[in-house]
Amino acid sequence: MKVISSVAGMQRTAEELRRKGGRIALVPTMGYLHKGHESLVRIAAERADVVITSIFVNPAQFAPGEDFERYPRDLPRDTRIAEGAGTGILFTPSVEEVYPGNYHTYVIVEELTTVLEGKARPTHFRGVTTVVTKLFHWTKPHLAVFGQKDAQQCAVIRRMVKDLNFDIDIVVAPTVREQDGLAMSSRNAYLSPDERQQSTVLYRSLQLAEQMIRGGERGASAVADGMKRLITSQPAARVDYVSVADAQTLQEVDTVPPGSEVLVSLAVRFGATRLIDNVLIKT
């Protein structure tokens, strides 16, 4: 595995790969890699000749007061995991090169970014779309793999790729979970043992939503209320939002129409740690 940290070096290498006819897959990450990231790299490796995994803790997608400074980082461990999963090139650009002084240009996707995570974190998605655009320019991929764990991010990236005519296939990989159901996340490392135990309620609440909807419940607020009751049975849990939304537009629904697909998603805090998770349900 090759490690590249300069933007110019990455662009030169990507250009060479393209000239030789290689199919390039990009897996963007913020590092502190876990089995969710590994699965993305494996899925990418099945579809391309070279997988470029990027590691960049992107300051533009954190608001002041969020966890940018304390976000977990461990490059030596990430290097081993990335290589083991099938990464050909590990790309680790620096903040200084990504956002040099006097930086003023952002990519903004409207509408989809005003709900759910975008409502709770108003500048988050413009940071994501800006850095992903840059990553696309640097790594010149034929496809890029993102995780369903960040469902709204997938929708926003798909929208951007369509609207800006990026010639890149977007592949969405299923959420990888711990044995007890908690979605893998670099942020799980923040949880105390007690919070970690309580956090299993998140997936149980999503399963409850699925059971209710499959059992014929059509009222979105009844589903959300059932989830909130279950989540708040854990003393450390503070619900940021629970949402039942149309899977395409991400607009919340009042009733779950038959023959539709809904995204049931949540953001919940345990102490200072904010976790998100979701399931897609076809009715």
Query: How far apart are alpha carbons 252 and 262 in whole angstroms?
Result: 9
We find the least distance from the C-beta atom of residue 152 to ligand AMP, in angstroms, to be 10
Burial of 18 (0-12, 13-18, 19+ CB in 10 A): middle
How many residues touch ligand AMP under the rule CB under 6 A: the total is 17
Selected range binding ligand AMP among 10-18, 146-154, 196-204, 260-268, rule: CB under 6 A:
146-154
DSSP assignment of 211-233 equals: HHHHTT--BHHHHHHHHHHHHTT
C-beta of 125 vs 146, nearer to ligand AMP: 146
Binding to ligand AMP by residue 185, rule CB under 6 A?
A: yes
User: Which of 4, 10, 25, 30 is close enough to bind ligand AMP by CB under 6 A?
Assistant: 30
Selected range binding ligand AMP among 31-39, 89-97, 245-253, 256-264, rule: CB under 6 A:
31-39
Give residues 109-138 in contact with ligand AMP (rule: CB under 6 A). none
Query: How far apart are alpha carbons 275 and 201 in whole angstroms?
Result: 12
We find the least distance from the C-beta atom of residue 39 to ligand AMP, in angstroms, to be 6
For 279, list phi and psi in degrees, rounded to 5.
Answer: -135, 150
Binding to ligand AMP by residue 173, rule CB under 6 A?
A: yes
Sequence-ordered alpha helix ranges (H) in the chain = 7-19, 35-47, 75-85, 95-98, 117-120, 124-139, 151-163, 193-198, 201-214, 220-231
Which of the residues 37, 104, 124, 137 is marked catalytic? 37
Query: How far apart are alpha carbons 48 and 140 in whole angstroms?
Result: 13
Binding to ligand AMP by residue 141, rule CB under 6 A?
A: no
SS3 percent helix, strand, coil of the chain, rounded to 5, is 40, 20, 35
We find the least distance from the C-beta atom of residue 29 to ligand AMP, in angstroms, to be 4
Query: What are the beta bridge partners of residue 219?
Result: 255
We find the least distance from the C-beta atom of residue 188 to ligand AMP, in angstroms, to be 9
**Catalytic-residue membership of 37:** yes
- DSSP-derived secondary structure letter, 174: P
User: How many Cα atoms occupy the beta-carbon half-sphere of 49 within 13 Å?
Assistant: 9
User: Which of 38, 117, 150, 195 is close enough to bind ligand AMP by CB under 6 A?
Assistant: 150
User: Which of 13, 29, 130, 243 is close enough to bind ligand AMP by CB under 6 A?
Assistant: 29
Binding to ligand AMP by residue 188, rule CB under 6 A?
A: no
Binding to ligand AMP by residue 176, rule CB under 6 A?
A: yes
| Residues annotated as part of the active site | 37
Give the interface with ligand AMP as residue ranges (CB under 6 A): 29-30, 36-37, 39-40, 146-147, 149-150, 173, 175-176, 183-186
